[in-house]
Structure 1
Amino acid sequence: MRAVALDSVPATPAVTEIDAPRPAAGEVLVRVASASVNGFDVAVAAGYVRETMEHRFPLVLGKDFAGTVAEVGEGVTGFAAGDQVFGVVMTPVLQAGTLAQYAAVPAGYGLARIPEGLSVKDAGALGLAGTAALNSLDAAGVGEGDTVLVAGATGGVGAYAVQLAAARGARVIATARPGAEADFVTGLAPVQVVDYAGDLEAGVRKIAPDGVDAVLHLAGDVTRLAGLLGGDGRLASTLGLPADAVEGTTIHPVLADPSAETLTTLAELAARGKLRVPVTTVYPLEQVHEAFAAFGKGAIGKIAIACS
């Protein structure tokens, strides 16, 4: 099968031919129709995760997936060949990714059905970033009436976070440059935009003179952002910081937890038009190098990959 498989890291992502996987006990084999690029995939290819997670080669990149169950492994219940599914591969060892024609994925975690009304393309860009956004809001305790600053609002996680925060009744301040970035963010939800490349502090204080109730740290200088919190403000970060990284501020580290319940919640919101999946570009699998390069340059929204 065609797959984005690496023989070592760091390496430039490219398509090669490898043997198709078979589902082990407790797994389903998915014929992948669509996937997406996430920051984690870029970090793996660059070798940044080499010392923190076991790698087995050839290593197929990719976390998100959407497609059709082709085969079920021993002991799997609740899924059958022909089911339309999506999710996130979450395994302790990096080897079986989803930027491929087929992927063997655990049936018990990180897998859910695609509901009617949600396209396969959108489902393939929903799982990891959508989960990270929802988990970040929960970690920061964002609720109705809160003022929340989303730093990194133009990326995949940020684009979901501004929508989910606004849906909770929060007042959302989003970081974006004037022009295309600001237009993108304001098209997602009723938000107020501040330019992160300008005087961020002045922009935020103009909207929230006493500071914000919560910060979602998805990008940027965490110390600078922590200084914008009010007295009882909360800060959640997806960037792997320890809880005590900023003196005087407790950071709530976020690791995406794509349970079936979380995935189903996100999928149903998207299917009902309550959550927009912000796919801005679709690349064929053969152009994965261009997709990774675009991500590295700060592409807006989500980059989808058509795998079949």
Structure 2
Amino acid sequence: MRAVTIDDFGATPTVTEVAQPTPGPGEILVRVRAASLNGFDGAVVYGFLKDMLEHKFPITLGKDFAGTVEAVGEGVERAAGEKVFGVVMKPVVSDGSFGEYVVVGEGYGIAAIPEGVDFAQAGALGLAGTAAAGVIDAIAPAEGETVLVAGATGGVGAYAIQLAAAAGATVIATAKPGEETDFVLGLGAAHAVDWTGDLAAQVRAIAPEGVTSAVHLAGDPAQVAELVAAGGRLASTLGFGPEHAEGLDLTVTSVMANPDAATLERLATAVAAGTVRVPIAGTYALDAVAEAFGAFGAGTLGKIAVTVG
């Protein structure tokens, strides 16, 4: 089958022929129809995770997937042809979703695609969407509270804005003037603040006592923490945890994406209902994934989708 692979850290992702995988007990063979890029993919290419996760070359890149069940292993109840999506969750980085087929486990990282959600939307929802759900669940914004989203223009930030706004919070999103500002306001942010300027002054002009809570997806976590009012909450996807906030009157949570079935289903249901929009900025065919990586690195707004087959 055709897949986007690398044979060493730092290599350019290229389309090669690899063996089609076979599902074992408790596994599902998915015919991939769509996927998307995440920061994790770039981290794999450049070896940023080589000391944290085992890697086995050649590596087929890709975490997100959406497609149809092609075959199942022993003990799996899903039927061939069922539409599914999710995140490839394996202990070894080797067999990803940027290929015509991928094998995933039945018990974690997979859910059915509901009516009203297409493959492209589902393929760009898994990892970023569940990371956003994790940070918003951690800060638990309530009606009328103010939430600062730092790192608002990427995939996780785009979903976090929408989830916080749907909870009734007033969202302040970091974005440069122009296209970035239009993007975050279009997703439901009430205010945009330019992170290249005096961020503190801009936030304090909107929330003089500080914001109720903050989501840290980019930038200096200490600066973001200082903008949260006493007794507030902060959630970070970049390793900023309680041990880094000693002396601050804040509840700090370090979050990793958790693509369990319940979270995936909750996000897909929100997309089907129209309360969450999948912000696809560009779509690339499998043969153009190297180009897609370039666009991702340049800072594309929202998500970059990949079509397969």
Contact 1:149 1:173 in 2 (8 A): yes
SS of match in other structure, 1:131: helix
1:40 and 2:31 matched: no
In 2, the alpha carbon distance for the partners of 1:75 and 1:90 equals 19
Residue in structure 2 matched with residue 217 of structure 1 by the alignment: 216
The answer on whether the counterparts of 1:222 and 1:246 sit within 8 Å (CA) in structure 2 is no
Which residue in 2 is equivalent to 1:233? 232
How many residue pairs get aligned? The number is 307
Residue deviations 1:59-108 (CA, integer Å, cap 9, x gap): 1111100001100111112x111001100111121111101110001111
TM-fit CA distance, 1:12? 1.9
Q: CA deviation at 1:242?
A: 4.1
Offset at residue 245 of structure 1 (A): 2.4
* Paired amino acid for 1:41: D
Rounded to whole Å, the distance in 2 between the matches of 1:166 and 1:18 is: 44
TM-score with structure 1 setting the length: 0.97
* Structure 1 contact 155–300 (Cα < 8 Å) conserved: yes
Q: RMSD between aligned alpha carbons?
A: 1.1
> What is the alpha-carbon distance in structure 1 between the residues aligned to residue 272 and residue 200 of structure 2?
37
For the Cα contact (< 8 Å) 1:111–1:259, is it kept in 2?
yes
Q: Aligned partners of 1:142 and 1:16: how far apart in 2?
A: 46
State the 1:23 CA deviation: 0.8
Matched residue, 1:28: 28
State the match for 2:132 in structure 1.
133
Between the aligned partners of 1:154 and 1:193, the Cα distance in structure 2 is 11
Task: Report the more deviating stretch, 37-46 or 3-12.
Answer: 3-12
SS at match of 1:56: strand
SS in 1 for 2:243: coil
Q: Aligned letter for 2:257?
A: A
Find the residue that maps to 1:57 and give its secondary structure.
strand
Instruction: Find the counterpart in structure 2 of residue 67 from structure 1.
Output: 67
The letter of the residue matching 1:127 is G
The equivalent residue for 2:105 is: 106
TM superposition score normalised by structure 2? 0.97
Q: Please name the residue that 2:279 is paired with.
A: 278
Matched, 1:164 2:163: yes
Query: Do the aligned partners of 1:12 and 1:289 also contact (CA within 8 Å) in 2?
Result: yes
What secondary structure sits across from 1:231 in the alignment?
strand
Q: Which amino acid aligns with 1:58?
A: P
Pairwise mapping of residues 1-308 of structure 1 onto structure 2 (< 5 A)?
Answer: 1-77=1-77, 79-249=78-248, 251-308=252-309
- Which of structure 1's runs of 4+ aligned residues deviate more than 3 A? none
Question: Which shifted more, 37-46 or 250-259?
Answer: 250-259
Distance 2:246 2:60 in 1: 39
Residue identity matched to 1:85: V
Instruction: Give the residue type in structure 2 aligned to 1:17.
Output: E
